[in-house]
Amino acid sequence: MSMALKQVFNKDRTFRPKRKFEPGTQRFDLHKKAQASLNAGLDLKQAVQLPHGEDLNDWVAVHVVDFFNRINLIYGTISDSCTDQTCPNMSGGPKYEYRWQDEHKYKRPTALSAPKYMSLLMDWIEVQINNENIFPTNVGTPFPKTFMQVAKKILSRLFRVFVHVYIHHFDRVSQMGAEAHVNTCYKHFYYFVVEFNLTDHKELEPLKEMTSRMCH
């Protein structure tokens, strides 16, 4: 990464503070293993594969947190150009509009501005990954039966951040010279969700053409 780009990504512009893994835990070791594969310049398709002898739930949990941190950072860098005025609807071009729904205030799918949607999304993901009943951190504590279902929901919603950034804010990404960084993060995410079937194919439709060019 260039120095200029490092400065952009090192500014405290993450939308939310980074979630870190505790040193000495199995999850921390897995995180380091995943990072080592990426830093070794391994083909991303290979890097996402489950290491021999590791638990799939643990591998998915590590990646969900890692993608949350990195996509958070990507959105944080363009958030000054994503406002209620510029993006009154959370969308990915004219064909795709994303509505927010949760168990609290928005019990029905509700149209929101992109920044409002992003804020609710990051809050919601943070609650999930900090919930010991969903993402247990103690070795030996089993994952709940609903874990994969929650992970899929988180990843599907994070994919929408890529859709919005690529379709509505890629000029800003280009201005900062961040295309290579964002593209690598996208490819890593795409190969991961496809490898473990963690996102519905219809969710991937908005970036289908770009993906076919980028991810052979």
- Measured from the Cβ of residue 175, the count of other Cβ atoms closer than 10 Å reads 12
Question: What distances in angstroms separate CA 204 from CA 99, 138, 159, 208, one per listed residue?
Answer: 16, 34, 8, 6
Output phi, psi for 97, to 5 deg. Answer: -125, 135
Ligand-binding annotation for 52, yes or no, is: no
Q: How far is CA 201 from CA 10, 82, 107, 159, 205, in A?
A: 33, 27, 25, 11, 7
Residue 164 annotated as lining a ligand binding site: yes
* 82 in a known ligand binding site: yes
**Three-class secondary structure of residue 114 per DSSP:** helix
Amino acid at 88: P
169 is in an annotated binding site: yes
Query: Binding site: what residues are annotated?
Result: 82, 87, 164, 169
Query: Binding site for Zn(2+): what residues are annotated?
Result: 82, 87, 164, 169
